[in-house]
Amino acid sequence: MRLGELAAILIDSVAHGASVNFLAGLTSEEAAEFWRSQIPGIVGGSRRLLAADDGAMLVGTVVLSFAHQPNAPHRAEIGKMLVRSHARRRGLGRRLLIAAEDAARAAGRTVLLLDTQTGSAGERLYSRCGWTAFGIVPDHALTPDGRLAPTTFFFKRM
Tell me which residue range forms the domain holding 68: 3-157
Q: How many CA atoms lie within 13 A of 69 on its CB side?
A: 6
The packing angle between helices 121-128 and 92-106, to 10°, is: 60
3-state SS assignment for residue 108: coil
Kindly calculate the radius of gyration of the chain based on its CA atoms and give it in whole angstroms: 15
Indicate which CATH number applies to the domain containing 83: 3.40.630.30
CA distances from 81 to 1, 35, 73, 87, 97 (A): 17, 13, 22, 13, 8
At 28, the pLDDT band (50, 70, 90 cuts) reads very high
Q: Are 93 and 81 a contacting pair, CB within 8 Å?
A: yes
Distance CA 73, CA 21 (A): 26
DSSP bridge pairs for 154: 114, 133
- B/e letters for 41-55, b = 16+ CB within 10 Å, e = fewer, are beeeeebbbbbbeee
Round the average pLDDT of the chain to a whole number and report it: 97
pTM recorded for the entire structure = 0.94
pLDDT score recorded for residue 73: 97
At 26, the pLDDT band (50, 70, 90 cuts) reads very high
Q: Are 24 and 12 a contacting pair, CB within 8 Å?
A: no
At 151, the pLDDT band (50, 70, 90 cuts) reads very high
pLDDT score recorded for residue 58: 97
Distance CA 6, CA 19 (A): 16
- Total count of domains within the chain: 1
Positive or negative: CA dihedral 100, 101, 107, 110? positive
At 1, the pLDDT band (50, 70, 90 cuts) reads confident
